[in-house]
Amino acid sequence: MSEENKVADATPEGVAQEDKQVPAPKKKNRKAVIAGIVVAAVAVIGLGFNAWHETPEFCVSICHTPMADTYLETLYANPYEPAVDKWGNEVAKADSMLASKHGAMGKKCMDCHVPALEEQVTEGIEWMQGNYYNPLSERDLARLVFYRGVGETEFCLNSGCHNITKTGLTEETKSFARNPHSWHHNEYTCSDCHKGHRASIMVCSQCHEDAEVPDGWLTWDESKNLETQYMNWNDEKFLLES
């Protein structure tokens, strides 16, 4: 939510109404002053809350508490060193996880996870009702952008992040023996290879021996031996309503 919205939200309609219901002309000035202080206080709290709301610590301390530390650790991991992913697996080079790679560049949770209001409200209600899983099953891009109503690739490819097209990406990695962005087999999506909170996977190595596996990435075979026991793709709760 933008700061403008917060300030607008902070205008207390209740206070204004009370003013009308209890007309007391001589106290009007005092009331106006008090109302002004209330508005200012709410606005300050609102702005402070908004600033805190944008921090990774907010995300994990308020809502994503049960698995809090694991996400923070993947964000703050040193990209040049080995790390441990949220499932407890060792990652040869933290750089191969998108979160740590972006964390090293000063990016935060909400730079990638742009929250939609409906999403926050839904998650907030489910959180209060205890209607959640711990740890969460892994989300693919389609699920991550579901509430935002944008295309899958816009999670990464947008004017604020990677301002490049899929064709541009093909160019970027054309020096690879087997260009991972050739889109030759269009059934692969970005999140099949690029992983947010665990080592990325070179899926092409399943069939093409010449597919280069970047430092710290996993081959297809290695990824199949990975301990991600909490993933449950068939769980209906996680299937998108269509």
Residue length, the chain?
Answer: 242
177 lies in the site for ligand HEC, by CB under 6 A: no
Q: What's the Cα-to-Cα distance from 10 to each of 3, 34, 62, 121, 152, rounded to whole Å?
A: 11, 15, 21, 18, 34
Q: Is 219 an interacting residue with respect to ligand HEC (CB under 6 A)? A: no
Rule CB under 6 A: say whether 162 interacts with ligand HEC: yes
157 touches ligand HEC (CB under 6 A):
yes
Dmax (CA) of the chain: 86
Nearer to ligand HEC, 17 or 189 (CB): 189
Tell me which long-range contacts 127-134 makes (C-beta under 8 A, separation of at least 24): 127/63, 132/66, 133/230, 133/237, 134/66, 134/67
For residues 183-212, which are near ligand HEC according to CB under 6 A?
A: 184-185, 188, 190-198, 202-204, 206-208
Q: Taking contact as CB under 6 A, which single stretch among the options 18-26, 47-55, 118-126, 170-178 is the one that binds ligand HEC? A: 170-178
Q: In the chain, what is the straight-line distance between the N-terminal and C-terminal CA atoms, in Å?
A: 27
d(CA 183, CA 108): 29
Is residue 77 involved in binding ligand HEC (CB under 6 A)?
Answer: no
The residues of the shown chain that bind ligand HEC, judged by CB under 6 A, are: 56, 59-60, 64, 71-72, 75, 98-99, 102, 107, 109, 111-113, 136, 138-139, 144, 153, 156-157, 162, 166, 169, 172-173, 178-182, 184-185, 188, 190-198, 202-204, 206-208, 214
